[in-house]
Amino acid sequence: MNNDFIKILAFEVRDDEKCFFEEAAKRLHLETVLRPDILTVENTAECQGFTGVTTLGMSRLSREVLDGLKQAGVKYISTRTVGYNHIDVAYAQSIGLHVSNAEYAPESVAEFTIMLMLLVLRKYKPAVYRQNVNDYSLGGLCGRTLKSLTVGVVGTGQIGQAVIRSLSGFSCRILAYNRSPRRELEPYASFVSLEQLYSESDVITFHLPLKETTRYMVNPHTLSLMKDGVVLINTARGELMDQKALIQGIESEKIGALALDVFEDERSIYHESRINDIIANRDMAYLRQFPNVAMTQHMAFYTESAVEEMVECGLRGIVEMHRNGCWAKELTAFTL
């Protein structure tokens, strides 16, 4: 099938993506239209005449949106993200819409994950606050070294693997949990049960897709299995962690430090300027004020190389589905 006639409507396009869209569209012989807004039920009719649409993770492709795309004649959907929990994939496939996701080098998220570990272990946030008021004292700022700790990695897909390999350079003890142990990681990590990982780890980092089996996997019960003062890192999906349990854990000091690049209900907050707005998310506001909690705006992926690869995957996925009638490989995500 000739891909010269492929027209793609791209949603959630940031300024930093535009040059990569232009380059990829020329290389793949595509016609692309770029929009900054998210894909909603209200604008699906505007997809009429386009072969495929591509979005990022803030668009919620519910049944209603998918029905609108189908009615508009769209055949293919790509998300320029690794995770695809924002798309009702099963329903899309049931009505004949093909879906693809993105792959990009895992180092962007892996390096950011380790940066967050170091940031909270070395109490960078309160140190910076003190400097802002000319307080250069050291009391309360004594940190810990990774070498002296046991780090648990939950999920060893591409990102989890990259985290483990990078952590090995710090000479810390590494525990890993995955549905199927990965033999290639055995020189770096010991694969154990999730319960053992929880009970023995000083630091735990999560690299999983959001599924019903992983939603709120950090909850009052699982926290009770962990060490007092455990350090938790989440650069995957906010819904992996029960916010109320996190708050209770910080208040009781069960959680010694917390670093979150993602947050439940982050949609319409992260990746936007809300500087003059009242943000109605009390849990977010309450958690961020603790000195041992570091929060960033879902930016672990955000490097030049990753952005370029995400755009390339977003367009190439639609091209391959158009050529082959389906995505050339199954949807990929970090696995459990």
Q: Which residues have a catalytic role annotated?
A: 237, 266, 298
Q: With the CA atoms of 158, 159, 162 and 167 taken in that order, what torsion angle do they form, in degrees rounded to the nearest 10?
A: -150
Tell me, what DSSP letter sits at residue 279? P
Count of Cβ atoms closer than 10 Å to residue 307 Cβ: 19
204-234 as b/e: b if 16+ CB within 10 A? bbbbbbbeeebebbbeeebbeebbeebbbbb
Calculate ∠ Cα 110-311-333, nearest 5°. 45
| Cβ(168)–Cβ(175) below 8 Å | no
Residues 6 or more apart in contact with residue 212 via CB below 8 angstroms: none
Q: Is 234 helix (H, G, I), strand (E, B) or coil?
A: strand
| Rg of the chain over all Cα atoms, to the nearest angstrom | 21
Cβ count within 10 A of residue 251: 11
Is 212 strand, coil or helix?
Answer: coil
DSSP label at 62?
Answer: -
Report the C-alpha dihedral over residues 22, 25, 26, 32, rounded to 10 degrees: -80
- How far apart (Å, rounded) are the C-alpha atoms in residues 121 and 69? 47
**Would you give the distance in Å from CA 284 to the centre of its chain?**
17
The residues that bridge with 272 in the sheet, in sequence order, are none
